[in-house]
Structure 1
Amino acid sequence: MEYSEGRLGRVFVIRLEDGEDLISSLDRFLAEKEVASGTILFLGALRRGRLIAGPREPTIPPTSPFVEDLEGGWETFGVATIYPGGGGEPRVHIHASVGRSDKVLTGCLRERADTYLVVEAVVFEILGLGARRLLDERSGLCLPVLEERF
């Protein structure tokens, strides 16, 4: 287990409008506000998007993911972590649950997630955190690497 300790910095409340891409909008906002580390909570609805709902087999590295393309109005809520990448830019990892009628999915939002009506997000900045999101050779994924800090 690794850990790092930080302190709460700024808190932002964001409203994304119909048609805005949740992923690219958050990426732009975090870069503009220079938020290096933190977490995001969000809720609302998505018109379309792509969700990775786990691998077909639990192997390392993971292969053959279940890819779900979302179309229509899907209710959603989720959480994301923010850590700097290798070049210092904020890197966001988003997991969400989505539902429409009697179908419910949970997974990692990737590539695009277009807002339907509205998505409300709260960004909590964490200061003094010793964290980076770096490529892990074993898994082939960009994972958080934490260092102990006080």
Structure 2
Amino acid sequence: MKYSEANLGRIFILRLEHGDKVPDTIEKFAKDHQIDSAILHFLRGVDTNSKVVVGQEDGTAKKPRAMVTELLGTSER
């Protein structure tokens, strides 16, 4: 087993407006605030047919491929 310990750092709460592109908005915010790693929680507000990256298809691959899923409605994926 491997583990690491972390301390709670800065916390940001973002509310995107209608028409904001999720990846573009979050990536710009992260760049503007010098954020190089984060945990992201979505609370409501993702439209049906939105696509999100939920992980890597193969975590051991030298060149990872994103595992993308399309949200078809209310989902807990």
| TM-score normalised to structure 2 length | 0.58
Amino acid aligned to 2:50:
G
Report the equivalent of 1:26: 26
Larger mean CA deviation between 43-52 and 12-21 belongs to 43-52
Do the aligned partners of residues 17 and 37 (structure 1) sit closer, same or farther apart at CA in structure 2, a change above 3 Å counting? Answer: same
Post-superposition offset of 1:7: 1.0
Instruction: Determine the C-alpha separation between the residues in 1 that align with 2:42 and 2:36.
Output: 18
Give aligned-pair identity as a percent.
27
Report the equivalent of 1:122: none
Post-superposition offset of 1:40: 1.9
Post-superposition offset of 1:28: 1.1
Higher relative contact order (CA 8 A, sep 6+): 1
| Gap regions ≥5 residues in structure 1 | 54-59, 75-97, 107-150
Count how many residue pairs are aligned between Structure 1 and Structure 2.
66
Instruction: Determine the C-alpha separation between the residues in 2 that align with 1:7 and 1:32.
Output: 22
Amino acid aligned to 1:10:
R
Residue 2 of structure 2 aligns to a residue whose secondary structure is coil
Structure exhibiting the larger radius of gyration computed from Cα positions: 1
Report the equivalent of 1:41: 41
| Gap regions ≥5 residues in structure 2 | 55-59, 62-66
Do the aligned partners of residues 34 and 66 (structure 1) sit closer, same or farther apart at CA in structure 2, a change above 3 Å counting? Answer: closer
CA RMSD in angstroms comes to: 3.1
The list of structure 1 runs, each at least 4 consecutive aligned residues, that deviate by more than 3 angstroms after superposition, is 65-68
Greater fraction strand: 1
